[in-house]
């Protein structure tokens, strides 16, 4: 697809044409890496290209930051413990409008862009949906020209690599920074002390005011590393600022002098451990002190940085603060930002408590991403008191005032106060981070319509009753640049040829595809593109697993973190049922299916790991059965990550979104699949509900019990046995697992899975099984009707425009942040006679 963008907004003194790029690449190889083409490794070549791209980004970045410094706009600060960025080269090239030119330049140099792109390591500083959402938001913020910073942690080790050995998940450390990261710039000039421990002294000043002084704390420094985040077809380039921990002193002199060299070095190592590794758990509260240190480390450095920037631009005009900064908390993980800002304003800047509190609540917004009780963060008061003594005091004070307010609204309602308190007094006293975040924010949002509704009906019902205006919905979205334009070059070109390329910035333009949905030639091309998307995935799967797949089958895909509530098990049970059907009736009418599953399990989540093993054992069996292998295959793709998603999602025909209704807050994979022309097989959960609303019931397969139905069943008592007794197929499927058909020589291997679904079945796998089978049968039938399926696929894409993260960010900008775009014009275009030796 030709891209003419660069001509219109090029501001670079480095050219955007292939010739200039070639010069840059060779220059970088020679003068940055000190090599010639002869001795350059593949990584050297990749680096030279990456440097040539970032150079062109940096010019726009400087323009943007200068402009922001000049107009001092309100900025968005997106605080997140996770940013799942994936690879940058391909996306950077597309956003800058450099893709085709770079491809040409490399071709002329005898190099291949696709091959070089594959060399880049994923930046996997996140677990799943929440982290990837943050990355999509950065793309949209810059594309919309909104002044914004992402703030996070520069973990030395990102999310572990998953290896599958004998069918089991094995975790390998992700040392993503071993090789040079060309996309970041260290900013040792921006460093802040972060304090832990010690005690608080309360002084009374001469004028009678109280002052709290924090003594004897240990200090760690937070060093900034900046990554530019460019928008698409714009000069606007924002910043992702990640903090890395550095010991405040190389050696503790006292220990050193007293001869304890090891203790001295050890202290340094321990404090730098804070940013060593990303917590790989996205469901269970780990309650580990190091995690709390990480959260406070992020928050303290970030709030100091935000206040520093504010004071540079506005001095101590604190009344302006909330009109210059909107701080969004990505779940409760950075919620300590609230007491930290209170500490800075009250203790360091001498503001009165009430005034500081109003600034806080005007500034903060909080996004909830899960209702799962086990994922709601709490910290024991004991740990909090010893690690952050001043913050614990501040939280008590916040709670005291908050309880007074509750009392004003509901005099005498002690039970309600107990429920709403930020401090949980039952058992071991703890801080409820979600309550702190709600109290300290002016807006609280869920991430899909159903989720936001359930949020105010359940976990925050008391809060919503008291302040209904505080709660709102912001349905998630995904960036069309990475998830369609870049991930699916074939479909992108076809779409652009049919309706022009405005959709890349305004995804609702995809509606125009409805005008060509009946065009026979277009439909044929559509099928060809979808077919071709399968080929690179087939290569990848053969390379990683040895499993050979056929592109002439329906690709039925479930990729996401492994979780019982996401019900990969339901998919696996369906596959067994299909296998039995094929074995028992060789003449059965079937749609040849390739089932693809991928996802990581938290290392300590034994049930999820056992389900991975079961999937791999089913795969071994059915892929090797000559009776069935032409009609049904299963592959578990190891090490699911952003770059794998970019290959898997475009190849899918059917998208499995089959969580227990009410459990998946939104899902964003569901949107990526629909946008790439896959049809959703889904429950009425999360954003599936809205996908149904957009695409219409004829273009989606919906099944299963609804959230209210399940609520009633829970209340009235649910017995999975009744569903098992009713279904002979289900009995035979379970029996096959039970008799160790998939675990020969390892009797009882999968017993824990069977016990869980036969007895408690917390996620209603049994209750939904037969409904799922029926929906899967419908999907198979529909797929055999090639014309029908083509229409469904095109209409899914045409009607997915609302799921752009540009739409989501626009809603946040107007309804929560009150921020406006700043146009970065190319006026101060680089003077071509500038003294620098530009390539």
CB 804 within 8 A of CB 687: no
Query: Active site includes 561?
Result: yes
- The closest of 93, 45, 48, 117 to 642, measured between CA atoms, is 117
Give the phi and the psi of residue 16 in degrees, each rounded to 5: -100, 10
Least distance (Å) between residue 559 CB and ligand 26V? 14
Residue 217 or 378 having the CB closest to ligand 26V: 378
Least distance (Å) between residue 478 CB and ligand 26V? 10
Tokens (6 digits) for 730: 């289900």
Least distance (Å) between residue 668 CB and ligand 26V? 5
Q: Which distant-in-sequence residues (6+ apart) come within 8 Å of 719 by Cβ?
A: none
Residue 371 or 767 having the CB closest to ligand 26V: 371
Residue 343 or 566 having the CB closest to ligand 26V: 566
- The closest of 827, 807, 830 to 143, measured between CA atoms, is 807
Starting at the edge strand found earlier in the chain, the sheet holding 430-432 runs: 378-380, 430-432, 423-424
Tokens (6 digits) for 755: 């016990």
Residue 131 or 228 having the CB closest to ligand 26V: 131
The residue sitting closest to ligand 26V, measured at its beta carbon, is 129
Residue 198 or 334 having the CB closest to ligand 26V: 334
Strand partners, 367: 330, 445
Ordered alpha helix ranges (H), 565-687: 568-584, 606-623, 642-651, 669-675
Distance CA 619, CA 605 (A): 22
Least distance (Å) between residue 133 CB and ligand 26V? 4
Distance CA 666, CA 450 (A): 8
Least distance (Å) between residue 287 CB and ligand 26V? 8
Query: Active site includes 583?
Result: no
Least distance (Å) between residue 313 CB and ligand 26V? 32
Query: Active site includes 672?
Result: yes
Least distance (Å) between residue 113 CB and ligand 26V? 31
Angle, vertex CA 568, rays to CA 620 and CA 754, nearest 5: 80
Distance CA 756, CA 81 (A): 33
Least distance (Å) between residue 203 CB and ligand 26V? 37
State the catalytic residue, choosing from 75, 530, 672, 705.
672
Residue 169 or 657 having the CB closest to ligand 26V: 657
Distance CA 609, CA 168 (A): 7
Which value, to the nearest 10 degrees, does the dihedral of the CA atoms of residues 651, 657, 658, 661 take? 180
Residue 130 or 148 having the CB closest to ligand 26V: 130
Tokens (6 digits) for 381: 């008061």
Query: Active site includes 808?
Result: no
Enter the DSSP assignment of 804.
B
CB 476 within 8 A of CB 462: no
Query: Active site includes 67?
Result: no
3-state secondary structure of 698: helix
Distance CA 729, CA 724 (A): 9
The owner of tokens 């597309």 is 94
CB 670 within 8 A of CB 691: yes
Residue 375 or 397 having the CB closest to ligand 26V: 375
Give, to the nearest 10 degrees, the angle between helix 353-363 and helix 389-409: 80
Q: From the CB of residue 765, how many other CB atoms can be counted at a distance below 10 Å? A: 23
State the catalytic residue, choosing from 566, 617, 633, 647.
566
State the catalytic residue, choosing from 22, 60, 369, 807.
369
The helix or strand, by DSSP H or E, that contains position 406, with its residue range, turns out to be helix 389-409
Residue 12 or 127 having the CB closest to ligand 26V: 127
3-state secondary structure of 656: strand
Tokens (6 digits) for 298: 């992020």
Tokens (6 digits) for 704: 């299963």
> What is the DSSP secondary-structure string of 275-322?
GTB----SSS----HHHHHHHHHHHHHHHHHHHHHHHHHHTT-GGGHH
Interface residues with ligand 26V (CB under 6 A) are: 127-130, 133, 279, 281-282, 285-286, 331, 369-370, 375, 447, 476, 664-668, 686
The owner of tokens 């059917």 is 654
CB 690 within 8 A of CB 810: no
Tokens (6 digits) for 559: 């990729």
Residue 389 or 477 having the CB closest to ligand 26V: 477
Least distance (Å) between residue 431 CB and ligand 26V? 14
Residue 95 or 370 having the CB closest to ligand 26V: 370
Strand partners, 636: 597
Query: Active site includes 735?
Result: no
State the catalytic residue, choosing from 67, 267, 560, 807.
560
Least distance (Å) between residue 500 CB and ligand 26V? 31
State the catalytic residue, choosing from 668, 680, 790, 808.
668
Least distance (Å) between residue 277 CB and ligand 26V? 12
Strand partners, 654: 556, 679
Calculate the alpha carbon distances from 612 to 244, 372, 561, 663, 800 in Å. 34, 22, 11, 21, 31
Least distance (Å) between residue 192 CB and ligand 26V? 24
State the catalytic residue, choosing from 117, 161, 435, 561.
561
Distance CA 804, CA 810 (A): 10
What are the residue numbers of the active site? 369, 560-561, 566, 668, 672
């Amino acid at each position: 697809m030709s891209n003419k963008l660069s001509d219109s907004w090029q501001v670079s003194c480095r050219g955007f044409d292939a010739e200039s790029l070639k010069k840059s690449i060779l220059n970088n190889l020679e003068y940055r890496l000190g090599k010639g083409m002869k001795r350059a490794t593949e990584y050297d070549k990749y680096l030279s290209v990456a440097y040539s791209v970032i150079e062109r980004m940096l010019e726009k970045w400087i323009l943007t930051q200068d402009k922001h410094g000049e107009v001092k706009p309100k900025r968005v600060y997106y605080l997140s413990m996770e940013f799942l960025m994936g690879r940058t080269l391909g996306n950077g090239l597309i956003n800058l409008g450099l893709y085709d030119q770079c491809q040409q330049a490399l071709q002329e140099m005898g190099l291949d862009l696709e091959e070089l792109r594959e060399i880049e390591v994923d930046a996997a500083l996140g677990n799943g949906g929440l982290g990837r959402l943050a990355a999509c938001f950065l793309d949209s913020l810059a594309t919309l020209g909104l002044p914004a910073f992402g703030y996070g942690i520069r973990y030395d080790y990102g999310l572990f690599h998953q290896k599958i050995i004998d069918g089991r998940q094995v975790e390998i450390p992700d040392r993503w920074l071993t090789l040079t990261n060309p996309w970041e710039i260290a900013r040792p000039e921006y460093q802040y002390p972060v304090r832990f421990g010690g005690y608080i002294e309360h002084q009374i000043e001469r004028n009678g005011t109280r002052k709290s002084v924090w003594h004897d704390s240990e200090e760690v420094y937070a060093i900034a590393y900046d990554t530019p985040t460019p928008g698409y077809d714009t000069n606007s380039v924002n910043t992702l600022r990640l903090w890395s921990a550095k010991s405040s002193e190389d050696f503790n002199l006292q220990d050193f002098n007293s001869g304890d060299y090891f203790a001295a070095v050890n202290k340094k190592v321990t404090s730098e451990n804070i940013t060593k590794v990303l917590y790989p758990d996205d469901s269970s509260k780990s309650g580990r002190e190091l995690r709390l240190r990480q959260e406070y480390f992020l928050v303290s450095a970030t709030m100091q940085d935000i206040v520093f920037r504010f004071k540079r631009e506005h001095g101590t005009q604190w009344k302006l603060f909330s009109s210059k900064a909107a701080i969004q908390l990505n779940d409760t993980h950075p919620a300590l930002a609230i007491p930290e800002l209170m500490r800075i304003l009250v203790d360091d800047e001498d503001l009165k408590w009430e005034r500081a509190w109003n600034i806080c609540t005007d500034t903060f917004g909080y996004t909830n991403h899960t209702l799962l009780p086990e994922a709601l963060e709490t910290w024991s008061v004991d740990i909090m008191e010893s690690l952050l003594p001043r913050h614990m005091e501040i939280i008590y004070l916040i709670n005291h005032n908050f309880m007074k307010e509750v009392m004003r609204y509901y005099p005498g309602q002690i039970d309600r106060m107990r429920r709403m308190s930020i401090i949980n007094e039952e058992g071991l006293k703890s801080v409820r981070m979600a309550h702190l975040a709600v109290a300290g924010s002016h807006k609280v949002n869920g991430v899909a319509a159903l989720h936001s509704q359930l949020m105010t009906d359940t976990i925050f019902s008391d809060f919503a009753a008291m302040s209904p205006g505080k709660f709102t919905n912001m349905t998630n979205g995904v960036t069309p640049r990475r998830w369609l334009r870049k991930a699916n070059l074939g479909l992108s070109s076809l779409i652009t040829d049919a309706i022009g390329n405005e959709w890349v910035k305004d995804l609702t333009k995809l509606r125009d595809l409805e005008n060509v949905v009946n065009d026979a030639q277009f439909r044929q091309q559509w099928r060809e593109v979808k077919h071709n998307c399968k080929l690179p995935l087939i290569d990848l799967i053969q390379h990683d697993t040895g499993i050979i797949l056929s592109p002439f089958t329906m690709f039925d895909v479930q990729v996401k973190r492994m979780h019982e509530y996401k019900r990969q098990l339901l998919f696996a049970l369906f596959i067994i049922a299909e296998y039995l059907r094929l074995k028992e009736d060789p003449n059965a009418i079937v749609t040849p299916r390739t089932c693809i599953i991928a996802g990581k399990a938290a290392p300590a989540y034994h049930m999820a790991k056992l389900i991975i093993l079961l999937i791999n054992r089913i795969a071994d069996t059915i892929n090797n059965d000559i009776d069935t292998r032409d009609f049904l295959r299963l592959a578990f793709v190891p090490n699911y990550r952003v770059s794998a998603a970019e290959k898997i999602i475009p190849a899918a025909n059917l998208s499995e979104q089959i969580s227990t209704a009410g459990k998946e807050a939104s899902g964003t994979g569901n949107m990526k699949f629909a946008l790439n022309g896959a049809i959703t097989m889904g429950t009425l959960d999360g954003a599936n509900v809205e996908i149904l609303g957009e695409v219409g019931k004829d273009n989606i397969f919906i099944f299963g019990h609804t959230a209210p139905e399940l609520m009633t069943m829970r209340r009235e008592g649910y017995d999975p046995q009744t569903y098992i007794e009713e279904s002979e197929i289900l009995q035979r499927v379970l029996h096959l697992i039970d008799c160790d058909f998939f675990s020969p020589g390892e009797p009882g291997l999968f017993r824990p899975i069977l016990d869980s679904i036969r007895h408690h079945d917390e996620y209603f796998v049994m209750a939904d099984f037969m409904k799922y089978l029926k929906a899967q049968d419908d999907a198979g039938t529909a797929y055999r009707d090639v014309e029908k399926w083509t229409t469904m696929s095109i209409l899914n894409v045409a009607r997915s425009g609302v799921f752009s993260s540009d739409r989501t960010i626009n809603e946040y900008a107007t309804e929560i942040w009150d921020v406006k775009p700043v146009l970065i014009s190319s006026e101060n275009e680089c003077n071509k006679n500038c003294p620098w030796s530009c390539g």
